[in-house]
Structure 1
Amino acid sequence: MNLLDQLREMTVVVADTGDIEAMAQYKPRDTTTNPSLLYKAAQAPQYQPIVQAAVEHAREVEGDRKAQLEACMDGLAVGFGKEILKIVPGRVSTEVDARLSFDVEGSVAKGRHLIGMYEAAGISRDRILIKLATTWEGVQAARVLEAEGIHCNMTLLFSYAQAVACAEAGVTLISPFVGRILDWHLKDRGVKSIPATEDPGVESVRRIYNYYKAHGYKTEVMGASFRNIGEITELAGCDLLTISPDLLKELQAADGELERKLSPDGGAEVEPKISLDEKAFRWMLNEDAMATEKLSDGIRKFAADIVSLEKLVAKLIDQPVTV
């Protein structure tokens, strides 16, 4: 078997893309998207019916331009989610506006609204993960939503402190960003490469995974943001891995024996269980320069892509309606 088929035997493979055609080709169980991927997909000719449906929905909304844009963005996110769920048998992650990353009430309201849109379309909330940035506020919003049976995927996660807080909040799934951790360390060390066996992003996910399994947390670990297949193979056995179409293709074309590197049975040294209140969380995050920088940078970039997408759909909303 190729590496992708072997990986599927020990890890749930998730497609990290907004490209519905790629999902149909690689047949992942779940799919996750983000504002950057949706912005790219919304400009592709084959997805214009989804975009147009969101625009028409927005035109029917009473209120100012802000309300119309918000309705269109929500319609776009859910519209893509609905199409994705026609292909994948599992779940789709739908992201809350990054500009709500420090707003507990706003994030909770948006999560409820998105789930309501899916349920109105006849889709069970069990097939949806509401995606939130792993700020302190994002974790608290997830705690509220999870208590209501709304499952969450915590994104932009770069540190042990963030992972511990998510587990304590009872979130369904976390997405530690392997590649972006590597990017930071390459720049910090002034080197062009780091072997996959020593990759700091891989080491971070391995530490989190072992901590969760050792202490019986139900939160799933989904490695994300990969730069090469070496990072992926070093995390074989992780609960889930979300992988871009390019790397899925590379795994599918590669032969060889894939060794399981992570197992729920453990075997690794167990770190003591800790508990974090807001002060401890903020201090631990502050002490991790990489995580602090990458979290802030990630929020800014996702927010910028949302603004770009809003500009795109605003022009469409203003176009004359043809009969």
Structure 2
Amino acid sequence: MNQLEQLKSLTTVVADTGNFLQLAQFAPRDATTNPSLILKAVQSPDYAPLLKDTVAAHSAKPLDEIVDQVLVRFGLEILKVVPGRVSTEVDARLSFDKAGTVARARRIMALYEAAGVGRERVLIKIASTWEGIQAAAELEREGIHCNLTLLFSFCQAVACGEAGIQLISPFVGRIYDWYKKSAGAAWDEAAQSGANDPGVKSVTQIYNYYKKHGIKTEVMGASFRNVGQIQALAGCDLLTISPDLLSQLQALDAALPRALDAAAAAQADIAHVSFDEAGFRFALNQDAMATEKLAEGIRLFAIDSAKLDQMIAS
């Protein structure tokens, strides 16, 4: 049995792509998208007709509504291939606008429901800012489930757990990138790999904390740079993995042991913590990596959202 099949016995495997034509070969349960992945997909000849048809069908509507129609169209195609859920992202430019995020999420969900897709099959992706977490808490109370993304710090995870969020996506690879760049010539790849990888350590801490304190929020490791990071998180609730890394796992036949264990975490000595808004903002501020990567992630997604706007407008 290859490592992808072994991983599926320990963890829910999610495909991290907007390329729904590529999904079937990996048989993931869920799929996630983001503005960058959708932008990449619509620039491919395979998807140009889908973009053109969707824009033509809704050309009389405001640009932001057309964008949501395009995002949902991709989501609907993905849901034909995966048996579980698709994550569709709210515009990153609303990351500090609670009311704007709630309104956009409701509209995206209404489009899915109009197409006959139930709420249980959709996760609304929102950046893990304080405003984003509060917006998601409101949406969860309405039965609209959320995936809190661009999550780099323990305080973000704690706040999401307290808010009753369905799922979080800690970004393993981007955490790793920051520490590697920060260390420069002093970086020791071998010493900082596997369970010692800073991104892996972050997800492990969050996972163990949630399981210790009975927090129902699902943990989905994301943004991987190599298969070693994935192997070191086998047993996590979910892992969202790019097609390239899914292929690499498929090609490996060595045994894949469980790395994260809910039962062991439940017995660990881990103190409970809580954050109000001021405490959250201070804790995030004290974490230079998380502060920088959150800001950078929002900027990059905003840039790609603007590029998608331009493609649709033209």
Q: CA deviation at 1:192?
A: 6.4
Aligned pairs (5 A) from 1:21-60: 21-60=21-60
Structure 1 residue 133 corresponds to structure 2 residue 127: yes
Question: Equivalents in 2 of 1:133, 1:195: separation in Å?
Answer: 27
**Does the 8 Å CA contact 1:3/1:256 hold for their aligned counterparts?**
yes
Question: Equivalents in 1 of 2:9, 2:22: separation in Å?
Answer: 21
SS class of match (1:74): helix
Partner of 1:162: 156
Question: Equivalents in 2 of 1:215, 1:275: separation in Å?
Answer: 12
Question: Equivalents in 2 of 1:281, 1:57: separation in Å?
Answer: 44
What amino acid sits opposite 1:173 in the alignment? L
SS class of match (1:146): helix
In structure 2, stretches of 5+ residues that fail to align are: none
SS class of match (2:82): coil
**Does the 8 Å CA contact 2:152/2:294 hold for their aligned counterparts?**
yes
Question: Equivalents in 1 of 2:57, 2:282: separation in Å?
Answer: 44
Question: For the aligned residues, what is the CA RMSD?
Answer: 1.0
Question: Equivalents in 2 of 1:216, 1:53: separation in Å?
Answer: 46
SS class of match (1:31): strand
Using structure 1 for the length normalisation, give the TM-score: 0.94
Partner of 2:283: 284
Q: Deviations over 1:99-141 (max 9, x none)?
A: 0000000000000000000000100011000000000000000
**Does the 8 Å CA contact 1:57/1:72 hold for their aligned counterparts?**
no
Q: Deviations over 1:73-93 (max 9, x none)?
A: 101100000000000000000
Question: Equivalents in 1 of 2:16, 2:264: separation in Å?
Answer: 27
Partner of 2:94: 100
What amino acid sits opposite 2:238 in the alignment? L
Partner of 2:232: 234
Q: Deviations over 1:17-36 (max 9, x none)?
A: 01112211111000000000
In structure 1, stretches of 5+ residues that fail to align are: 62-66, 316-323
Aligned pairs (5 A) from 1:277-316: 277-315=276-314
Partner of 1:64: none
Using structure 2 for the length normalisation, give the TM-score: 0.97
**Does the 8 Å CA contact 1:54/1:73 hold for their aligned counterparts?**
no
What amino acid sits opposite 1:34 in the alignment? N
Q: CA deviation at 1:44?
A: 1.2
Question: Equivalents in 1 of 2:44, 2:181: separation in Å?
Answer: 33
SS class of match (1:45): coil
What amino acid sits opposite 1:187 in the alignment? K
Partner of 1:212: 210
| Pairing partner for 1:264 from 262, 272, 281 | 262
What amino acid sits opposite 2:279 in the alignment? A
Q: Deviations over 1:199-225 (max 9, x none)?
A: 000000000000000000110000000
Report sequence identity in percent: 59
**Does the 8 Å CA contact 1:158/1:291 hold for their aligned counterparts?**
yes
Q: Deviations over 1:52-79 (max 9, x none)?
A: 2321233132xxxxx2x11221011000
Q: CA deviation at 1:43?
A: 1.1
Q: Deviations over 1:179-201 (max 9, x none)?
A: 00000000111126232231000
Structure 1 residue 113 corresponds to structure 2 residue 116: no
Question: Equivalents in 2 of 1:170, 1:152: separation in Å?
Answer: 10
SS class of match (1:218): coil
Task: Please identify runs of 4+ aligned residues in structure 1 that moved more than 4 A.
Answer: none
Question: Equivalents in 1 of 2:151, 2:309: separation in Å?
Answer: 25
SS class of match (2:15): strand
**Does the 8 Å CA contact 2:235/2:259 hold for their aligned counterparts?**
yes
Give the total of aligned pairs: 309
Question: Equivalents in 2 of 1:171, 1:54: separation in Å?
Answer: 31
SS class of match (1:266): helix
**Does the 8 Å CA contact 1:234/1:261 hold for their aligned counterparts?**
yes
